[in-house]
Structure 1
Amino acid sequence: MLQKGLNSFQIKIIALVLMVFDHIHYIFTGVFQVPLWFTMLGRLSAPLFIFATANGMRYTRNPVKYLMRLWFGFVFMNFGNDLINQYFPLPNGGIVINNIFSTLFVICLIIFSIQRISVCRKENRPFLQYIFLMLVPVFSSIIIFMTMSNPSLFFMVRGIMFFVPSLLFCEGGIILVVLGVGLYLCNQDKKKIGIFYLVLSILVFAMGYNPEIGVESMFLDNIQWCMVFALPFMLLYNKQKGRGMKYFFYAFYPAHIYIFTILANIISKY
């Protein structure tokens, strides 16, 4: 029987392929001439992974384990990025700061808190602790922002950034967190998802406006607007999980970034 639409696994595979294009552009620019459309395709990747993750939090039987996997991924990549930047610097002068686990963790932490607050309200139980839990990424952002310029607090700030994901300093920042929580709150209603995602994409598009350059700046200076083309894939979602292989995605993400970075560093020396 022919399957209708796309299941979660297929959406994640599409996101993974597009992500590879994006990282090829970022890592190998300066080694090869990599066309801009590589990273334009990559703008679809994070929204699709976020879409799949928000749905994952809806269906998972153990949201705490789900959160812990993302947290371990976040911490692992913080140390991994530190090592890779120290021993295999990018030839183009950039640094590896990729850590989508931080963004996914913040999104899922907020979703988990919303879920628990809803349950507590139905059962007439206190839920203040979940409001506090939801605000942890906000508190960590405030602490980091207020202390990062103080050299004497360097290790404290670094410790917080390595172990406590923050709203302001996660990959993609507030916009991607709003995207994830908003997609969850749309409750898989395709009309709501379409309206919400288009409005957010238009907002991102408008944020790229530079008055010194003009309207052209919204198309070229901030290509994050290309994220709008992820919407058709979301609307094709058939609410099916598909194949498992969850650990494949957790492993592939850091592995391909570090392998690409090492290759770029080695090739640039010849």
Structure 2
Amino acid sequence: MSRPLGVTAFSLKIAAIVGMTANHIANVFGTLLPAGSMVALYSLGGLTFPIMAYLLCEGYRHTSNVRRYAMRLATFAAISQVPFSLLFGAMGNVLVTLLIGLGLLWATDHIPNVALRVLTIAAGITLSSLCDWGIIGPIVILLFWHLNDRPRGSALTMLVAGLALGLPALSWAVTDPSALSLGVLGYYTAGFGLATILIANYNGQRGRPMKWFFYAYYPAHLLALWIAKFLLGL
């Protein structure tokens, strides 16, 4: 049901950008930060992927040209890969994960043979193990898609992801209560919780258009972080 006074796609994208920036700052400069700041930044980071995954499903649902949507993701994934690898190593960036997720949504709707569809989805999930967010990324995307029409389907998706990732994080934080472990726990609890609230209040409205800014911001902020890291000699 539409919520005219709720959260727009523009607001969700801004929240994702804030969370993404906070998370990457924590990952790159965490050792230079006070423990409390590190925990707070990691916790904000939990906003990002759930919102990106949810908006991918919305984009797929409303796009008039899936191929053009995929090409846009692929182009910015390629542009982002160099600064991402310089910062985080040899794995696919999150736009690659989203591109795989988009392919799996298309496969779900357009491959009539059940066995071939299952094999395609399994292959995509396996491929995502080489990317940011690993196999959980496309699984979250598929859960958002298939549970969308159920009451509180988005909240159920977040509950599944939160338990799968949050329980190991809780165990780590209990056995080794460091700033990093507490930050990771905050990522999967506070961050996921806030993302759930924002998504649950999404009103289906676009809000201000910022499609190109969102795409461009991802590689731009990665490059800026790498330059800062290089200048600091880290």
After TM superposition, the score normalised by the length of structure 2 is: 0.81
CA RMSD, aligned part only?
A: 3.0
CA drift of 1:209 comes to 5.2
Contact kept, 8 Å, 1:186 with 1:193, in 2: the verdict is yes
Distance 1:232 1:190, change over 3 A: farther
Identity %: 24
The residue identity in structure 2 corresponding to 1:225 is Y
> Is 1:225 matched with 2:181?
no
User: In the alignment, what sits opposite 2:157?
Assistant: 196
Residues 46 and 110 (structure 1), Cα distance of their counterparts in 2 relative to 1, 3 Å cut:
same
Per-residue deviation, 1:41: 0.8
Partner residue, 1:137:
124
Aligned 1:53-132 pairs, distance under 5 A: 53-82=56-85, 85=86, 95=89, 99-117=93-111
Q: Runs of 5+ in structure 2 lacking a partner?
A: none
The one of 201, 209, 214 equivalent to 1:249 is 214
By relative contact order (CA 8 Å, sep 6+), the higher-ranking structure is 2
Q: CA distance change for structure 1 residues 178 and 136 in 2, over 3 Å: closer, same or farther?
A: closer
Identify the residue that residue 174 of structure 1 maps to in structure 2: 135
Q: Which runs of 5+ in 1 are unaligned?
A: 142-165
> Hey, what's the Cα distance between the residues in 2 that align with 1:31 and 1:261?
15
Per-residue deviation, 1:42: 0.7
Shift of 1:107: 1.0
Q: 1:211 to 1:252 in 2, by over 3 A?
A: closer
Structure 1 position 76, deviation (Å): 2.4
Instruction: Give the helix-richer structure, 1 or 2.
Output: 2
Q: Which residue of 1 aligns with 2:225?
A: 260
Aligned-pair CA distance for 1:221: 7.3
CA distance in 1, matches of 2:217, 2:43: 21
Q: 1:95 to 1:131 in 2, by over 3 A?
A: closer
Total equivalences in the alignment: 225
Query: Rg bigger for which structure?
Result: 1
TM-score with structure 1 setting the length = 0.71
Aligned-partner residue type, residue 76 of structure 1: I
Matched residues in 2 for 1:136 and 1:105: separation? 14
